[in-house]
Amino acid sequence: MELPELEDLGDLTGRSVLVRCDFNVPLSGGEIQDDLRIRAALPTLSYLVEAGAKVTACSHLGRPGGAPDPAFSMDPVRRRLSELAPGVDLLENLRFDPGETDNSASFVETLVEGHDAYVNDAFGASHRSHASVVGPPMFLPSAAGRLLAREARVLGDLRAAPRRPFLAILGGAKVSDKLGVIEALLEVVDELIVGGGMCFTFLAARGASVGASLLEEDMIDECARLLESGAPIRLPIDITALGPGGVIGNPDAGGEVRQVGTSMPEGWMGLDIGPGSAVEFCDLIAEARTVLWNGPMGVFEDARFAAGTRTVAEAVADCRGFTVVGGGDSAAAARMFGVDDRIDHVSTGGGAALELIEKGDLPGLVALRAGAERSSG
């Protein structure tokens, strides 16, 4: 996927560059809990500063609803950015103006005013047709930042030229959220593991009783269609379940935890893959030469139901093939279990990663290529 890169901007001495970053960091009490997204932008910001540019970063933070809200002020991000990248300015939260999410032409004009070039390094926001993502390339010489370029290259190669066997591991809550991704992956993978809450709709499609587990009844027919097609879908062979009276995240509330087969007693809730499934999945991971993991195998935030996700995370980290974690909760799990530094690529954008895998392109990437064509024409 050819994108204009930073070097294509030419001599930046004394030029003003607007950089769209993804600084949508977790906050608690006005303090940043994880600055990974700020640090991820440093290679791009450092290149621009060292090239002599005057750099202004911009980002959204949370969902303030199109109006200023002190709870979503960029001040904590600005303080941390000043420590990591001195001299880089930061605009206020883009979403304080409704023109950002509306892709308002007037808001785009406001953003680009006074700037000589634009860089998109916000992969996590590039699946949205928002003003700061798709607007500036129509007016300014533009390029992909280091982070965005790597994300597009790695995830694009997964679709186009994976080393085989190619194994995808999908978890998360709902089949409906990932049906398009499932169908896209089934066109290119050798095996597809389905875990997490979404596995119960597939199990129900096989005729299993899922008890009180998460179930999308309106998706059972879709799951049955995929299974009956002969697609290489692997489902859990056992489940770690919570009995009646139990509460997720509160062991003191009671409720028995035990391993069951793929059919659960009435009132029992499946919350993790079982140990047999974990062993089977690990064997597949060990044999793979390309692995994409997106979505936990269970409610890993509760220690009683973390074993499946932890085992898969460690197996992915140990895999000799090329490994990719597709952002979101799976990236959080990789960090929680201390294996993120042994993954070849941890994506910074869960939703954007899945959309790129599903559709092969993103609005932000389309805008950069269109801008490059405009400039060259």
| Catalytic annotation, residues | 37, 174, 328, 351
Taking the C-alpha atoms of residue 242 and residue 83, their distance in angstroms, rounded to an integer, is 46
Distances in Å between the alpha carbon of 245 and those of 113, 200, 268, 333? Answer: 59, 20, 9, 27
Q: Where are the beta strands (DSSP E) in the chain?
A: 16-20, 27-28, 31-32, 54-58, 89-90, 117-120, 142-144, 166-170, 191-194, 233-234, 239-242, 257-260, 269-273, 290-294, 322-325, 345-346
| CA–CA separation, 328 and 355 (whole Å) | 13
Residues 6+ apart with CB under 8 A from 281: 169, 193, 195, 234, 273, 297, 311, 312, 315
Is the preceding peptide bond at 165 cis, omega within 30 degrees of 0?
Answer: yes
| Amino acid identity, position 126 | S
Other C-beta atoms lying within 10 Å of the C-beta of residue 70: 8
Is residue 327 within 8 A of residue 124, CB to CB? The reply is yes
